[in-house]
Amino acid sequence: MIESVVVVDDHKLLAETVVQLLQGSGVKAVAFAPQSADQILAEIVAARPSAVLIDFSLGPNVGTATPIVRELTQRAIPTVVVTGNADPLVHAECLEAGAAGVVSKGSSAGELLRALEKAHAGERLLDDNRRHQLLADLRKHRSAHRRDSARFEGLSPREEQVLLYICDGKSAAEIAEASFVSVATVRSQIRAILMKLDVSSQLAAVAEAHRTGWVDRTRADSSNLAM
């Protein structure tokens, strides 16, 4: 029988609701609001709970729960992740970090308690076949992402800037004017971009830049350098 549970959620009301549900089932439960990964990890370790129920998304100050789950696993503290995200890759990420399983935010008190009891008993919430499939899909996704990233890493700084202009919808003439170079130079840079990304059109290059997250990463990196 599980005795104590720590609930970690950046939404105070939701965390307190879960605590009340668990307490109603006879389990000693307490909610912790995360300020940082180190802080929440220290509080959990100090509390020495039978199991931990942690939200996957812990707000901008912390990010996802996976680093905390990994640390809790190393300390042999059973952990169940709760999330409203149905993406199998998110679930696989939690399993890879060592979570006993993932449950929906819409789960009842009974479902949460059964999941936590399984985790406390050293059991997994998914059968081995499903778990192995999720982890295999995660590895394939990461492998594909590495291949995509490698293509963009071949771009020169100037080509990166031209691609950002293209993603903003600028024409070759507009890019040339903004860059103080000839249109012919810009067209040559565009051809180099298409060749390196292995696409046949500017539209396809823009689609790949957004699909792989390259645009957001590059702009974020530029913003950080400017700070």
Percent of the chain with pLDDT strictly greater than 70: 97
- The residue extents of the domains of the chain are 4-134, 154-226
pLDDT at 92: 97
Instruction: Give the confidence band of 222 by pLDDT, cuts at 50, 70, 90.
Output: low
d(CA 215, CA 185): 22
Tell me the pLDDT tens digit for each residue of 96-146: 999 999 999 888 888 999 999 999 999 999 999 999 999 999 999 999 888
d(CA 91, CA 99): 9
Q: Which CATH superfamily is domain 4-134 in?
A: Response regulator (3.40.50.2300)
d(CA 22, CA 78): 16
pLDDT at 34: 86
Mean pLDDT, to the nearest integer, of 30-43? 91
pLDDT at 178: 93
| Fold of domain 154-226 | Arc Repressor Mutant, subunit A (1.10.10)
3-class DSSP assignment, residue 2: coil
pLDDT at 183: 96
- Half-sphere exposure for 83 (CA within 13 Å, toward CB): 22
pLDDT at 61: 86
Beta strand pairing call for 101-104 and 51-55: unpaired
| Encoded amino acid at 52, one letter | V
d(CA 66, CA 72): 10
d(CA 7, CA 82): 10
pLDDT at 223: 55
Tell me the pLDDT tens digit for each residue of 156-215: 999 999 999 999 999 999 999 999 999 999 999 999 999 999 999 999 999 999 988 899
Q: What is the pTM of this model?
A: 0.74
d(CA 146, CA 211): 13
Taking the chain, what is the end-to-end CA distance rounded to the nearest angstrom?
Answer: 52
Higher local confidence (pLDDT), 224 or 159 = 159
CB atoms near residue 106 (< 10 Å): 8
Instruction: Give the confidence band of 41 by pLDDT, cuts at 50, 70, 90.
Output: very high
d(CA 189, CA 221): 22
